Amino acid sequence: MTAPVLVWLRRDLRLADQPALCAAASEGPVIPVFVLDDETPGDRKLGGASRWWLHHSLEALGRSLGRHHSKLILRRGESVAELVKLARQTGAKSVHAIAHYEPWWRAAEETLAARLDLHIHDGNYLLSPGAVTTGAGTPFKIYTPFAKAAMQRLPEREPLDEPALTSPATWPKSDDLADWNLLPSKPDWAAGLRKDWACGEAAAQDSLDEFLHVAADYERDRNLPSVEGTSRLSPHLHFGEISPTQVWNAVAMRRGEGVSSFRGELLWRDYAQTVIWQFPDYAERSYRDEFRSFSWRRSAADLKAWQQGRTGYPIVDAGMRQLWHTGWMHNRVRMIAASFLIKHLLIDWREGERWFWDTLVDADYANNAVNWQWVAGSGVDANLFTRIMAPLTQSPKFDAAGYIREWVPELADLSDDDIHDPPDDRRGSYPAKIIGHREARERALEAYRAMKSAAGR
């Protein structure tokens, strides 16, 4: 009988438009395997919100495979060791997988290729890093020319159908998903996640279908936190429950400025992978040398106030509370909250990156790092540090009153005029501002000037 083929799954938990699965199915019986790897050197263990999502996504994929008379094999340990062990147990000679660009996965792929016949496929991004280059033949570092060049190449292909799967004569042993304890027990902080999200490939397709009805208005509505104007596809894309090719081709059937803006967001995912492909430690150190000597403040109390949504700035606190409750935050508010931590509180952007890593259901090594360094001004392509977002201006500008009422209920009775910056005598139990905006701005600019002065010595 034909030897089985392993399909190594990571963040590609779907059956449709799954190039690795399709290629393996054409070779022989398929054994899909997911390894929960908390041991690979350099690997970041998944945060709590991501582990919650992973549990439900794996459950959904297991059910989908069952409808094809197949199974999902679960193993826990160091990925390469577990895959080599599984190949020896099953007689599998080859492994198919979709490429990943986090530094630990690139290292694991290289190590596995030296042990087994490994076939790597594109599939998690519209274009692989390095697929488009500058006129000099080098990878892009700046988003705008990258996006312009990438747009000329897209779409590259049509999505693949689900393959017909053949099962091996004997299935290897699998861990029980429940034994991995990916879900919280006590305290059970996931009630908001359960209420807000459905996980898996079918749920991802439902989210895409819903978004297509409002995609034309995306350019306007994506900036309004009180409006359901974003796609909410980010965690589905992150876990590979739907491919960016499926999404790109679906929105191509729509017209309007909103569609163009949304395509730009999809290309930002690719751009972020290009950045970490060139700079693997991007989440650990500032790209710009001068920021490596920036005098960040160390204040556990201020960091905790930001994390808990107790800064006294309603738009910031609404976002941080939404994040804790649902594992997600509106994209406009993410920028405001990140800017507040970095520039109002002068706390190192890496503290925010780590908090988002633990609390976001769409926590992504590349996107998270690139976005935080963009706000900090320390990145390869970044906003200027001196452009300091004013939360009290941003909040009414983007009509956040309804959003604040939902997530900061102690202010719900205030008028639209007062809720963005409550008067001291109307705050009730809501905290006073942790720092005044003007004071914070001057302090940030002074720290920036000191950094520039030191760099010029």
- C-alpha pair distances (Å), 324 with each of 5, 225, 234, 332, 363: 41, 16, 17, 17, 13
Q: Residue 95: phi, psi to the nearest 5? A: -130, 135
- C-alpha pair distances (Å), 77 with each of 25, 36, 91, 178: 26, 6, 20, 16
Report which of 189, 262, 204 is spatially closest to residue 229, judged by C-alpha positions.
Answer: 262
Report which of 212, 204, 225 is spatially closest to residue 259, judged by C-alpha positions.
Answer: 212
- C-alpha pair distances (Å), 292 with each of 286, 287, 340, 454, 457: 6, 8, 20, 11, 15
Report which of 239, 259, 240, 236 is spatially closest to residue 248, judged by C-alpha positions.
Answer: 259
Q: Token digits for 373?
A: 């360094």
Pairing between β-strand 117-121 and β-strand 94-98 as defined by DSSP bridges: parallel
Question: In 37-71, at which residue ranges do the beta strands (DSSP E only) sit?
Answer: none
Active site residues: 265, 268, 296, 331, 349, 372
Tell me which amino acid residue 218 is: Y
Q: Token digits for 96?
A: 């198919």
Report which of 313, 308, 338, 323 is spatially closest to residue 419, judged by C-alpha positions.
Answer: 313
d(CA 233, CA 228): 12
- C-alpha pair distances (Å), 453 with each of 154, 248, 264, 290: 45, 46, 36, 10
Report which of 297, 306, 271 is spatially closest to residue 382, judged by C-alpha positions.
Answer: 271
d(CA 28, CA 32): 12
- DSSP label at residue 139: B
